[in-house]
Structure 1
C-alpha cells in the first residue's frame, strides 16, 4: 500500500506543484551533507505555504530547521518585509540550511538560531507576537513547544505540529518510545488548554502514515 501512497503523492506534485530547482537542490544538498531524509513532503510543504498565506502571516516561528526545506516554503509565503525565526539544535544542520536558504533566495527573511529550542524560546519574550508557528522538532518536547507558541503568539495565531500520528503509535498508552510518550502528552496538553481550538489530521503518502495537528489561539 505504501507504494500506492507514494504514487498518489507523485501525482499530486505533478498536477499541482511546479518543478522547483531550488527545493530539489535543497534536498540534494541535505543528502550530500549527511542530513536525515525527514523533511516534509513537497505536498506538505505547499500546504504549509498556503496555510501561512491564508493566515496572513508576517512573522513566522519554526521550531526545527533541519536543512531548511520547510523553512523555504514558509519564507516564500511571507511578504517582502516579513520575518521567519527558525530554531535548530544542530550546528551542522543549521550551516547546511544557511547554504540552502541562500541558494533559494530567501535568506534575507530568515533568522536561524542554533541551540536547544527551549533555551532559545525562553529568551524570545520581547519578540512576540508571531502569526504562525510550525513545530517539527524533538517529539519529546512537543507539549512544551506548544505552550511556548501560545506565549509567543496572539489571538488568531496558527500553530501546526508535524508527526502526531506516528503510524498509529499514538494509540499505545503503554509505549516506552519517548517520541510516542511525548506525542500523547502533546494531545493531552492541547486538549486541556481552553486557549486553543484544534484538530489533527492523518496523512499517508511519501512520508508513510503520520499526521499533523492544526490549532488556532483563541
Structure 2
C-alpha cells in the first residue's frame, strides 16, 4: 500500500506564536532597516500606557509599499492609536501629500501628534479628534482619497466602509484590518460584537457591485488574523 499523500507545504504541526513572531523578525532583519522615528513611536506609545495593538512592522511596511505603488497623495486612516501605521504611510507620501487620521480617544490623539511631530511628518499627517462616524461627513471628497486604512473598533467596520466609499476615487483602495480574528469570524459559535462587525462588513462588500475584494489571512507577530483588500472600481 502506498503511503498517504502529504501536501508539500503542509503546516508544521505545533507551531507556536513565539515561532511565528521569530519568523517575522527573521524576515524583517533582512528587509526592514531600523527606523528611529518608528521605534520612538512604539516606545512613546508604550510609555503612555496605550495598548500595543498597532500593526506589525511587516504590515506597516506593506502599507508603505502600497502607498508608493499607487503613487497615493491623499490617505484616510480610521483609528490612529499611537500613529505607528500613520507614520509608515505618511513616510511614503510625496511632499504635497496628505494623511488624515480619525481618532476618538484624546490621549491617543495627543501621543500620536507627538509621534508624528518627532518623525518630522506634521506637514503631511494630522489627527482629527472625535467619533469617526461623526467626522466622516465633514471630510471633503475633493480631491478624493486614494487609500483608506480602517483599523478601529470592529463593530463599526461596515459603516466605516460605507462612508469611505463616498470619499475614494475610482481605482482607489480600502484596507480593513483584523478581519480573520484567529478564525473566529468563520466559527458559527462565535457571536461577539467584533465578529459580528466583520460579518456585517463581508455582507456589505458582497452586495457592493462597485468593488472587488479579497481577504488575505496573515500569521506572525500579531498571531492569526488578516486584512480585507478592497479595490474600488466605481468611486468618485
Which TM-score band applies after superposition, normalised by the shorter structure?
over 0.9
Deviation at 1:52, TM superposition (A): 1.2
Match of 1:129 among 144, 148, 152: 144
- Structure 1 residues 108-117 or 173-182, which shifts more? 173-182
Q: Does 1:49 align with 2:64?
A: yes
Cross-structure match for 1:181: 196
Task: Write the mapping of 1:106-117 to structure 2, written as runs, cut at 5 A.
Answer: 106-117=121-132
Q: Does 1:210 align with 2:208?
A: no
Match of 1:193 among 162, 185, 208: 208
Please report the TM-score for the alignment, with normalisation by the length of structure 1: 0.97
In structure 1, runs of 5+ residues without a counterpart are: none
1:209 is paired with a residue whose SS is strand
Cross-structure match for 2:185: 170
Deviation at 1:173, TM superposition (A): 3.3
Give the structure with higher Rg (CA): 2
Q: Does 1:2 align with 2:17?
A: yes
Instruction: Check the 8 A contact 1:39/1:70 in 2, yes or no.
Output: yes
Q: Distance in 2 between matches of 1:92 and 1:175?
A: 32
Runs of 4+ in 1 over 2 A off after TM superposition: 125-128, 172-176
2:26 is paired with a residue whose SS is helix
Aligned length: 218
In structure 2, runs of 5+ residues without a counterpart are: 1-15
Match of 2:164 among 141, 146, 149: 149
1:156 is paired with a residue whose SS is strand
Instruction: Check the 8 A contact 2:185/2:195 in 1, yes or no.
Output: yes
Cross-structure match for 2:27: 12
Match of 2:38 among 23, 35, 56: 23
Q: Distance in 1 between matches of 2:115 and 2:169?
A: 30
Q: What do residues 56-107 of structure 1 show as CA deviations (whole Å, max 9, x unaligned)? A: 1000000000110000001011100000111000010000000000111111
Cross-structure match for 2:7: none
Please report the TM-score for the alignment, with normalisation by the length of structure 2: 0.90
